[in-house]
Amino acid sequence: MTVTVRVPAKVNVQLAVGAARADGFHDLANVFLAVGLYDEVTVTPADELRVTCEGPDAGQVPLDATNLAARAAIALAERYGRTPDVHLHIAKDIPVAGGMAGGSADGAGALLACDTLWGTGASRDELLDICAELGSDVPFSLVGEAALGTGRGERLTALEVGGTFHWVFAMAVRGLSTPAVFREFDRLGEGLDVPEPVASRELLDALAKGDPDALAATVSNDLQPAALSLFPELADTLAAGRAAGALATLVSGSGPTTAYLARDPASAEKIAEALRTSGTCRSVRVASGPVPGATVVDSR
């Protein structure tokens, strides 16, 4: 039997970050929106656990037990007292180390694929618990659509969205490490009072209405100054997107992928073309959201 699961990328339309906690993580108010850029994880029985990867960024993906897909298979196998003897193949389209939850997508995808292959009968809540152990963004990759993440981002509340939002994403010439961006956030905030992170009422209303202008007026990312401090050239990419008519521009999560909110699909194409010719990024993609989370697309 072979099972293939498709998992979307995410953009954070609000990322409010609190002070560092005793465990080193930060409390967040993290408004996730799943967008239509996908990784696919295919699982097949094998003699032992093995990970392979294809796609433009495949060379940057670790294929050992640090890969979140491998860790997901191991965690599920441990819970159900079996060996994780599978071949996991990742068809990667989400940028690596890009702030779009590509690694988390592979973790959630492998978990759902192995669960389907092995027929464990695990409940949704059990799967979400394993996701939360794997990483702060992994539960959202499983559920998709739109959600508010609190705690370190793993405690999810589904959000209502009243329409489709059109986005352009510019992939940067190099990656940024999420822990490094959080460390820079701490460094920039040293000696300052960091407020409790709270979700913006206006932003949640804009999502519920499906109103791109209202969303543009309320998007925010507390990690953006830290990402720009580590990667100053991103300011040029953001400026190019703004000049091409983006309603809002922001760094996606911990970056360095940058996100551009467009009024409609035609405007998204125009912004994408301007970014492609700006010479300020590696590649450009258009995607809209919300879209569903991890989904079994093939099982035979």
Active-site residue set: 10, 137
Q: Shortest Cβ distance from residue 29 to ligand C5P (Å)?
A: 10
Residue 1, annotated as binding a ligand: no
Residue selected from 6, 10, 71, 152 as contacting ligand C5P according to rule CB under 6 A: 152
Q: Nearest-5° angle of CA 50, CA 51, CA 55?
A: 155
Residue 279, annotated as binding a ligand: no
Residue 151, annotated as binding a ligand: no
Comparison of 21 and 82: residue with beta carbon closer to ligand C5P: 21
Residue 101, annotated as binding a ligand: yes
Q: Shortest Cβ distance from residue 28 to ligand C5P (Å)?
A: 5
CB half-sphere exposure, 215, CA atoms < 13 A:
29
Q: Which stretch binds ligand C5P (CB under 6 A): 130-138, 155-163, 214-222, 226-234?
A: 130-138
Comparison of 178 and 280: residue with beta carbon closer to ligand C5P: 178
Residue selected from 12, 14, 178, 249 as contacting ligand C5P according to rule CB under 6 A: 178
Q: Shortest Cβ distance from residue 134 to ligand C5P (Å)?
A: 8
Residue 253, annotated as binding a ligand: no
- Residue 71 found at the interface with ligand C5P (CB under 6 A): no
Applying CB under 6 A, the site for ligand C5P has a residue count of 11
Terminal CA-CA length for the chain:
5
Residue selected from 38, 140, 167, 182 as contacting ligand C5P according to rule CB under 6 A: 182
Comparison of 197 and 212: residue with beta carbon closer to ligand C5P: 197
Q: Which residue matches tokens 């589904």? A: 158
Residue selected from 9, 13, 16, 26 as contacting ligand C5P according to rule CB under 6 A: 26
3-state SS track over the chain: CCEEEEEEEEEEEEEEEEEECCCCCEEEEEEEEEEEEEEEEEEEECCCCEEEEECCCHHHCCCCCCCHHHHHHHHHHHHCCCCCCEEEEEECCCCCCCCCCHHHHHHHHHHHHHHHHHCCCCCHHHHHHHHHHHCCCHHHHHHECEEEEECCCCEEEECCCCCCEEEEEEECCCCCCHHHHHHHHHHHCCCCCCCCCCCCHHHHHHHHHCCHHHHHHHCEECCHHHHHHHCCCHHHHHHHHHHCCCCEEEECCCCCCEEEEECCHHHHHHHHHHHHCCCCCCEEEEEEECCECCEEEEEC
- Residue 179 found at the interface with ligand C5P (CB under 6 A): yes
- Residue 284 found at the interface with ligand C5P (CB under 6 A): no
Residue selected from 136, 221, 224, 237 as contacting ligand C5P according to rule CB under 6 A: 136
- Residue 62 found at the interface with ligand C5P (CB under 6 A): no
Here the tokens at position 244 are 């091409």
Q: Which residue from 222, 234, 232, 213 is spatially nearest to 195, judged by alpha carbons? A: 222
Residue 100, annotated as binding a ligand: yes
- Residue 167 found at the interface with ligand C5P (CB under 6 A): no
- Residue 25 found at the interface with ligand C5P (CB under 6 A): yes
Q: Shortest Cβ distance from residue 209 to ligand C5P (Å)?
A: 28
Q: Which residues bind ligand C5P (CB under 6 A)?
A: 25-26, 28, 135-137, 152-153, 178-179, 182
Q: Per the annotation, where are the binding residues for ATP?
A: 95-105
